[in-house]
Chain A
Amino acid sequence: MKFRVNSITPYLLLTLMLTTFANSQQTPRITEVYLPNSPLVSFRVVVRTGSVNDPAGKEGLNALTSAMIGEGGSKSLTYQEIVSKLYPWAASIDARADKEVTTIIGEVHRDHLLAFYKIFWELIASPRFDSEDFARIKDEHLNYLKNTLRGNDDENLGKSGLNLLMYPNHPYWTVVAGTVQGLTAMTLEDVKAFHHAMYSQNRIVFGIAGGYPKEFIDQVKRDLASLPAGTSAEVSLPVASQPSGVEGMIIQKDNRATAISFGYPIDVTRADKDFYALLVANSYLGEHRTFNGVLMNHLRGDRGLNYGDYSYIENFIQDGGSTFPNPNTPRRQQFFSVWIRPVEPKNAHFAIRAAMREVQLLVDKGLTKEQFDLTRNFVVNYSKLWVQTQSRRLGYVMDSEFYGIPYYVDYVAKQLSMLTVGDVNAAIKKHLQAKNYYLSIVAKDAEPLRDSLVANAPSPIQYNNPNVPANILEQDKTIQALPVSINKEKFRIVPSSDLFEK
């Protein structure tokens, strides 16, 4: 049977035809996605401050400051009072910190818009800075670093390890939560001063979507104008360092299976033409949580090595239980990465080689015309699903403004329509390589794995299934002997308890 090539009929475009879609580049900056029929009103207030703005020795200050908004009181209401007021409306207020921006997210039924907004705005403009709130939140963030991340969340630990490896001497170096010593040294006065400096007109874009009355925006404008003007000076970012050979670390802790992430910085973001070529290439290699990528098909599908294997050309934080990334985590610099979900320790070395071989094949051979056509078509259609709720749509509009591009979902369709397989393969050659990586591993028995990696020892896969097809076994012979050039000087074992300390 021959299938039509369906396209997701521009759910978004059709919707936007009914939508006022406005944003202003002058302060106060407001981005609107007006959907008059929606019963909900969604807010995304994006503040141009992130962990890059943490002062030296006070790492985690941005995240802690934002949490004083998301989990603290306001000038006129205690945290308990706010929780009690939001409760009957089932409304939410949430603060999310990231590397370059911090987003205060709210959602309410329009029945309670005005009462909700009064609380929401006061939290942003005039947090309570209560010392008890501060103690509670500081404790929570310290526990996250000392207990959750170091001890009980191997996949995020592996990814955080990759971040540490990629960005030494760079403002991206810490995890967003900061460091144990930075948080320990922090005072409430630090938080107040940081808020005063950063939550200013020049750093805020106020996003709103849904069924609000149009005149409501006048109130928002007045409130924004009451903020201090502030500065919009950005922290400058040096060129990120590149690995020489395979540099890395094995984070040692007790666990059942070995978590692996590897990658390197790339000089491409959504603002660059080549990003869209790499978007196709990456989807072919390892589209997040689908069976489209060769990584997933060959490591999990053919070999049952683990639960999943994916790749990325920008930072990717999954939105809840969905398949899509959170909006409002934009960055001026991005990285290429491969995420190998935990594998049995006996197959860890093999899995690393298998994944690196897939990158090698991509770099060496690129995509065929057929693979290109299928993958491009997928990405164009799939991109329409990134914005199924009004809040996500608003987030994507605001991210497009960050990168200085037209609305991203439309822009993907436009850029991909102009691409050729030659463009994609050229972009792969230009931006990706398969020799030099930062490699982060979380493992219990670190030393034998380190020795095996450094010695380039053969690493045959151990199957539970005795009847593996001959063609897979044949490929395995190549994979188990794949030379991986470990940089012995820059490859170490680190106890997890040593990480994120300072």
Chain B
Amino acid sequence: MKVFFLLFLTHGTITESFIFGVMTMKSVSLFLVGFMLLSAAATVRASDGAKPNDIFPYPVTKTVLDNGLTVLTIPYDSPGLVAYYTVVRTGSRNEIEPGHTGFAHFFEHIMFRGTTKFPADKYNDVLKQLGADSNAFTTDDWTCYHVVASADALETLADLESDRFMNLKYSEEAFKTEAGAILGEYNKNYSVPFQSMFETLQNTAYTTHTYKHTTMGFLADIKDMPNQYDYSLKFFDRFYRPENCTVVVVGDVKNDDAVRIAKKYYSGWKKGTYQTEVPSEPPQKEEKIVRIPWKNKTLPYLLIGYHVPAFSDTDVERAALDILSQLVFSESSPLFQSLVIEKQKVEFVNGGADDHRDPYLFTVVTRIKDAKNIDSVRDDIYAALEKAKTVPVDAKKLQDIKSHVKYGFAMQLNKPDNVAVTVASYIAVTGNYESMNKVYALYDKVTAEDIMRAAKKYFAKENRTVVILEHEASK
């Protein structure tokens, strides 16, 4: 399941809205490892109409250029409008060198600093002429550059985007200035407790793998960013390469036009050679517990993480964990109904395994109304996970969960932008958009036994890390 929390860092705006209400979990998108269509010299093209059993209802046409760049086009009924997404399969996971955490995200910012052909102000003027909505975000596994604009601007968008991916050029001064914006982003996020909680969880649960740091990076590294200009050049050279990227165009687009334009603007982009060797995380041997004293008055938070496998569209146990997250933590679950509605001990509780390329965490998070109930709430959560190991889900409930997951997917495809980000999210983690159809087919096959088996395997005491954030005066 995709649990974005603070991962959409550039988009992590906190707004004035005071929103009341019930929102059922609507967004379900998963990542997995799939095949990559390789091309030696020739352009490879494959066109898929949506097959009857596919969850994704739109035809996708895939073209791989000679240099390895993948181009996907997806027609969608949005007259005059296209979403243009560029997926870079590089995120904070790729930050393997000490002292350089946060660089994938930093690079997302630097990419708006211009080229010789389109210096930053000119780049922005062109987008302004188009009336485009343009931005970017970074996660643990990928970086995404996205534009929504007029369909007749497609060639202009390809010109702009290909140019900066191939010819980015920025001064050391501009680089240092942008480092200030990054620190500003860290600072704005800091007032909300989630950033500190996830920083602590990842830093504690991981000893070796790069998921030890968040996408923002360690604060010490952020502060040192102004001194890392040379490293930034190396970073660009390594990762901003065609074989590491996919362009997704959704909306009022004809595939032949998109491919012709892509060939015209991207063909000069040279393949790279760099491979990231991300160190594996050894199994956790004992439970870890960390407390964060919080200076401002707050209700206590509890965040629990269990190591689970990387996303997969073939491993039914991994799919079972996603179904389990609905069974145990959705608003219709007995745990939610007990803790939130009946006992009213917590404001919310949710849990799930965010899709990742490498083994990540199944996280459970709750905000507890009274510090004296932290232990009992924690025990209720553990009891619900224990129950999932031994008590099979009844057939009706399992059917309801599968229905929820399918309708949730259908309902999120309500504009080209959302279709593009959904497809992009699978490409990002697996390299293959077909993963979404495969994993939803896998969900359909999950049985009560699969769920119990997965629960037994992963929800063990020695496999978990617990973070408790409390107002410092309460301790």
Residues of A within 8 A of B (CB): 1, 3-11, 14-15, 37, 39-40, 63, 66-67, 70-71, 79-80, 82-84, 86-97, 105, 107, 109, 111, 132, 135-137, 139-141, 143-144, 146-148, 150-156, 159-160, 175-177, 253-257, 259, 289-292, 297, 300-308, 315-318, 321, 323-324, 326, 341-344, 374-375, 377-385, 388-391, 463-465, 467-469, 497
Bound Cα distance A379, B128 (Å): 9
Binary interface profile of B, 174-190, with partner A (CB < 8 Å = 1, else 0)?
00111111011101101
Q: Which residue of A lies closest to B225 (CB)?
A: A464
**Is B148 positioned at the interface, with any CB of A under 8 Å from its CB?**
yes
Q: How far is the CB of B28 from chain A (nearest CB, A)?
A: 8
What would 16 A/B residue contacts be, using CB atoms closer than 8 Å? A67-B20, A90-B24, A90-B411, A96-B19, A154-B188, A155-B14, A160-B16, A297-B121, A304-B176, A306-B187, A307-B181, A321-B11, A326-B17, A382-B131, A385-B148, A463-B180
Q: How far is the CB of B71 from chain A (nearest CB, A)?
A: 21
Q: How far is the CB of A168 from chain B (nearest CB, A)?
A: 19
Q: Which 7 A-B pairs have the closest CB atoms?
A: A381-B131, A304-B180, A70-B21, A9-B80, A465-B176, A94-B21, A257-B187
Q: Which residue of B lies closest to A42 (CB)?
A: B414
Docked-complex contact A136 and B133, CB < 8 angstroms: no
Q: How far is the CB of B349 from chain A (nearest CB, A)?
A: 13
Q: How far is the CB of A472 from chain B (nearest CB, A)?
A: 9
Chain B residues near A308 (CB-CB < 8 A): 184
**Is B102 positioned at the interface, with any CB of A under 8 Å from its CB?**
no
Docked-complex contact B184 and A109, CB < 8 angstroms: no
Option from B8, B21, B149 in Cβ contact (under 8 Å) with A96: B21
Chain A residues near B178 (CB-CB < 8 A): 304
Q: Which residue of B lies closest to A292 (CB)?
A: B128
**Is B40 positioned at the interface, with any CB of A under 8 Å from its CB?**
no
Bound Cα distance A434, B329 (Å): 52
Bound Cα distance A143, B301 (Å): 13
Bound Cα distance A6, B148 (Å): 13
Given contacts A146-B297, A323-B135, contact A9 B20 (CB under 8 A): no
Docked-complex contact A89 and B407, CB < 8 angstroms: yes
Docked-complex contact A86 and B24, CB < 8 angstroms: yes
Given contacts A71-B21, A151-B296, contact A379 B177 (CB under 8 A): no
Complex interface: stretch among B62-70, B151-159, B438-446, B447-455: B151-159
Bound Cα distance A177, B17 (Å): 10
Docked-complex contact B22 and A83, CB < 8 angstroms: yes
Chain B residues near A317 (CB-CB < 8 A): 15-17
Bound Cα distance A315, B17 (Å): 10
Chain A residues near B181 (CB-CB < 8 A): 300, 304, 306-307
Docked-complex contact B80 and A152, CB < 8 angstroms: no
Option from B126, B184, B297 in Cβ contact (under 8 Å) with A497: B297
**Is B31 positioned at the interface, with any CB of A under 8 Å from its CB?**
no
Docked-complex contact A300 and B124, CB < 8 angstroms: no
Docked-complex contact A321 and B192, CB < 8 angstroms: no
Complex interface: stretch among B233-241, B273-281, B339-347: B339-347
Docked-complex contact A3 and B129, CB < 8 angstroms: yes
Chain B residues near A88 (CB-CB < 8 A): 399-400, 403-404, 407
Chain A residues near B344 (CB-CB < 8 A): 132, 135-136, 139
Chain A residues near B390 (CB-CB < 8 A): none
Chain A residues near B180 (CB-CB < 8 A): 300, 303-306, 463-465
Chain B residues near A67 (CB-CB < 8 A): 20-21
Option from B21, B129, B408 in Cβ contact (under 8 Å) with A90: B408
Docked-complex contact B226 and A342, CB < 8 angstroms: no
Chain A residues near B77 (CB-CB < 8 A): 37
**Is B191 positioned at the interface, with any CB of A under 8 Å from its CB?**
yes
Docked-complex contact B408 and A389, CB < 8 angstroms: no
Docked-complex contact B411 and A107, CB < 8 angstroms: yes
Chain B residues near A95 (CB-CB < 8 A): 20-21
Docked-complex contact B19 and A94, CB < 8 angstroms: yes
Docked-complex contact B156 and A91, CB < 8 angstroms: no
Q: Which residue of A lies closest to B126 (CB)?
A: A3
Given contacts A87-B332, A307-B181, A390-B414, contact A11 B78 (CB under 8 A): yes
Option from A152, A160, A385, A465 in Cβ contact (under 8 Å) with B298: A152
Docked-complex contact B411 and A14, CB < 8 angstroms: no
Docked-complex contact B135 and A6, CB < 8 angstroms: no
Docked-complex contact A90 and B14, CB < 8 angstroms: no
Docked-complex contact A147 and B298, CB < 8 angstroms: yes
Option from A79, A93, A388 in Cβ contact (under 8 Å) with B415: A388
Option from A7, A71, A139, A374 in Cβ contact (under 8 Å) with B22: A71
Q: How far is the CB of A312 from chain B (nearest CB, A)?
A: 10
Option from B121, B129, B297, B347 in Cβ contact (under 8 Å) with A377: B129
Given contacts A94-B21, A143-B299, A255-B191, contact A385 B131 (CB under 8 A): yes
**Is B125 positioned at the interface, with any CB of A under 8 Å from its CB?**
yes
Bound Cα distance A469, B129 (Å): 28
Option from A9, A291, A302 in Cβ contact (under 8 Å) with B79: A9
Q: Which residue of B lies closest to A51 (CB)?
A: B18
Chain B residues near A342 (CB-CB < 8 A): 184, 187-188, 191
Given contacts A8-B150, A292-B124, A306-B188, contact A254 B295 (CB under 8 A): yes
Q: How far is the CB of B173 from chain A (nearest CB, A)?
A: 5
Residue in A105, A107, A144, A291 whose Cβ sees the most chain B Cβ within 10 Å: A291
Docked-complex contact A154 and B191, CB < 8 angstroms: yes
Docked-complex contact B129 and A5, CB < 8 angstroms: yes
Chain A residues near B4 (CB-CB < 8 A): 321
Option from B15, B405, B415 in Cβ contact (under 8 Å) with A318: B15
Q: How far is the CB of B371 from chain A (nearest CB, A)?
A: 12
Contacts A94-B22, A385-B148 supplied; 6 other A-B pairs, CB < 8 Å:
A80-B337, A97-B18, A140-B347, A259-B191, A344-B183, A467-B172
Docked-complex contact A153 and B191, CB < 8 angstroms: yes
Q: Which residue of B lies closest to A385 (CB)?
A: B133
Q: Which residue of B lies closest to A83 (CB)?
A: B331
Q: How far is the CB of B323 from chain A (nearest CB, A)?
A: 13
Q: How far is the CB of B407 from chain A (nearest CB, A)?
A: 4
**Is B384 positioned at the interface, with any CB of A under 8 Å from its CB?**
no
Chain B residues near A391 (CB-CB < 8 A): 414
Option from B131, B187, B193, B416 in Cβ contact (under 8 Å) with A384: B131
Residue in A80, A176, A326 whose Cβ sees the most chain B Cβ within 10 Å: A80
Bound Cα distance A1, B187 (Å): 40
Q: Which residue of A lies closest to B28 (CB)?
A: A90
Docked-complex contact A256 and B187, CB < 8 angstroms: yes
**Is B112 positioned at the interface, with any CB of A under 8 Å from its CB?**
yes
Bound Cα distance A306, B109 (Å): 13
Q: How far is the CB of A343 from chain B (nearest CB, A)?
A: 7
Bound Cα distance A7, B80 (Å): 9
Bound Cα distance A391, B442 (Å): 32
Docked-complex contact B192 and A152, CB < 8 angstroms: yes
Chain B residues near A302 (CB-CB < 8 A): 177
Q: How far is the CB of B283 from chain A (nearest CB, A)?
A: 35
Q: Which residue of B lies closest to A9 (CB)?
A: B80
**Is B410 positioned at the interface, with any CB of A under 8 Å from its CB?**
yes
Chain B residues near A147 (CB-CB < 8 A): 297-299
Q: Which residue of B lies closest to A343 (CB)?
A: B184
**Is B138 positioned at the interface, with any CB of A under 8 Å from its CB?**
no
Bound Cα distance A95, B26 (Å): 17
Bound Cα distance A11, B77 (Å): 10
Q: Which residue of A lies closest to B414 (CB)?
A: A389
**Is B288 positioned at the interface, with any CB of A under 8 Å from its CB?**
no
Docked-complex contact B23 and A289, CB < 8 angstroms: no
Given contacts A90-B26, A90-B408, A306-B184, contact A150 B297 (CB under 8 A): yes
Chain B residues near A290 (CB-CB < 8 A): 134
**Is B86 positioned at the interface, with any CB of A under 8 Å from its CB?**
no
Docked-complex contact B369 and A156, CB < 8 angstroms: no
Given contacts A15-B79, A136-B340, contact A253 B128 (CB under 8 A): no
Q: Which residue of B lies closest to A304 (CB)?
A: B180
Q: How far is the CB of B431 from chain A (nearest CB, A)?
A: 25
Q: Which residue of A lies closest to B194 (CB)?
A: A152
Docked-complex contact A318 and B149, CB < 8 angstroms: no
Q: Which residue of B lies closest to A300 (CB)?
A: B181
**Is B120 positioned at the interface, with any CB of A under 8 Å from its CB?**
yes
Chain A residues near B332 (CB-CB < 8 A): 83-84, 87
